[in-house]
Structure 1
Amino acid sequence: MPNLLVLIMIGCGLLSLIFFIFTFMAIRKKKLISSTIRLLVALLCLALAALFGTITVATKGYLALTHEETAAVVKTEPLGEKLFIAHFKFSDGHEDSYRLAGDELYIDAHILKWNPIVNILGLHTVYELDRVSGRYMDIQEELTAPRTMHLVSQKKPLNMFNLRQKYSFLKPLLDAEYGSAAFIKLEKPANLEIKVSTTGLLIREIKP
Structure 2
Amino acid sequence: MNWNELLRLPATMLTILAAVVLLLALVQLLAARQHVHRRRHLAASGHVLLMLVLLALGLLAGGLAASLRGYRFLSEEMPVVQIDARILTPQRWALILSWPDGATRQVTLAGDDFQVDAIVLKWKLPAVLAGFPPLYRLDRISGRYDNAQQEMTAQRTVVDFSQAGQGDLLNLRKQLPSWLPEVDTLFGSGVFLPLVDGGHYSVSLMRSGALVARPDEATQQRIGQPLGG
Gap change, CA 1:147 and 1:124, over 3 Å in 2: same
After the TM superposition, list the runs of 4 or more consecutive aligned residues in structure 1 that deviate by more than 4 angstroms.
Answer: 116-119
Matching of residues 35-184 of structure 1 within 5 Å:
67-115=76-124, 124-153=133-162, 154-155=164-165, 159-161=171-173, 169-170=179-180, 172-184=181-193
Identity across the alignment (%): 30
- Paired amino acid for 1:160: L
The alpha carbon displacement at 1:128 in A equals 2.1
Greater strand proportion: 1
Larger Rg: 2
Q: Tell me if structure 2 keeps the 8 A contact 1:109–1:181.
A: yes
Name stretches of at least 5 consecutive residues in structure 1 with no aligned partner: 1-64
- Asked whether 1:203 is paired with 2:201, we answer no
- Paired amino acid for 1:207: E
Name stretches of at least 5 consecutive residues in structure 2 with no aligned partner: 1-72, 219-229
- Paired amino acid for 1:144: T
Q: Tell me if structure 2 keeps the 8 A contact 1:114–1:123.
A: yes
The alpha carbon displacement at 1:169 in A equals 3.6
Greater helix proportion: 2
After superposition, what is the alpha-carbon deviation per residue over 1:82-127, rounded to whole angstroms, capped at 9, x for unaligned?
10011011111100011000010111111112235668xx964212
Gap change, CA 1:163 and 1:84, over 3 Å in 2: same
Superposition RMSD on alpha carbons, in Å?
A: 3.0
Q: Tell me if structure 2 keeps the 8 A contact 1:110–1:161.
A: no
TM-score by length of 1: 0.57
